[in-house]
Amino acid sequence: MNITIITVGKIKEKYLKDAIDEYSKRLGRYCKLDIIELVDEKTPDNASEKEEESIKEKEGQGILSKIKDNMFVIAMDLGGKHLTSEDFAGYIENLGITGNSNIAFIIGGSLGISKSVLARANYKLCFSKMTFPHQLFRVMLLEQVYRGFRIMKGEPYHK
């Protein structure tokens, strides 16, 4: 299975880089992992709604340019579906069984994901109604993907 994470923003903190490296290494047993980092657009402090939409669309165009036609796109979105870790594992496993083994997860920037990217998404997933920094969320997503593969393989992992 091929997992691609397309994300807006760079990781600056060493402790987050270390966690990302650790989960990336662990995932190497289960899938081919590719992380694509895109530049986040600067948002003025008092940006209007129109300016924010423009920034999201600009970031969205960058995201769309990295999505290949054969990718099953899962957008991380507050309006998406909530799944347990077991349901998430089953969903990913089912994608592989049905021929969708090239999965792209999308993590937007601080303003979220553009309408054009959400329209391209095959599925919208929400981890929580809470908002998380996108740098930390990348670690959370990698951990859940790793947990999902462990569940799929029937291997022990914390509940």
- In the structure, what pLDDT confidence band is assigned to residue 158 with cuts at 50, 70 and 90? low
State the CATH number of the domain containing residue 131: 3.40.1280.10
What number is the average pLDDT over the span 81-86?
96
Residue 20 inside a domain? The answer is yes
Predicted pLDDT at 99 = 94
Residue 127 inside a domain? The answer is yes
Secondary structure (3-state) at 109 = strand
Is 127 flagged in the annotation as binding? Answer: yes
Is 129 flagged in the annotation as binding? Answer: yes
What number is the average pLDDT over the span 22-42?
96
Is 71 flagged in the annotation as binding? Answer: no
Predicted pLDDT at 132 = 87
Structural domain of 22: 2-153
Predicted pLDDT at 43 = 87
Residue 158 inside a domain? The answer is no
Residue 159 inside a domain? The answer is no
What number is the average pLDDT over the span 53-58?
94
Residue 98 inside a domain? The answer is yes
C-alpha 72/C-alpha 95 separation (Å) is 8
Residue 25 inside a domain? The answer is yes
What number is the average pLDDT over the span 10-28?
96
What number is the average pLDDT over the span 35-42?
93
Q: Which residues of 68-77 are buried (b: 16+ CB within 10 A; e: fewer)?
A: eeebbbbbbb
Predicted pLDDT at 133 = 87
Residue 43 inside a domain? The answer is yes
Per the structure, how many domains does the chain have? 1
Contact 37, 9 (CB under 8 A): yes
Is 80 flagged in the annotation as binding? Answer: no
- In the structure, what pLDDT confidence band is assigned to residue 134 with cuts at 50, 70 and 90? confident
Mean pLDDT of the chain: 95
Identity of residue 126 = C
Contact 73, 121 (CB under 8 A): yes
Is 105 flagged in the annotation as binding? Answer: no
What number is the average pLDDT over the span 108-127?
95
Closest CA to 53 of 35, 41, 38: 41
Predicted pLDDT at 90 = 97
CA distances from 101 to 11, 31, 39, 116 (A): 27, 10, 27, 23
Residue 140 inside a domain? The answer is yes
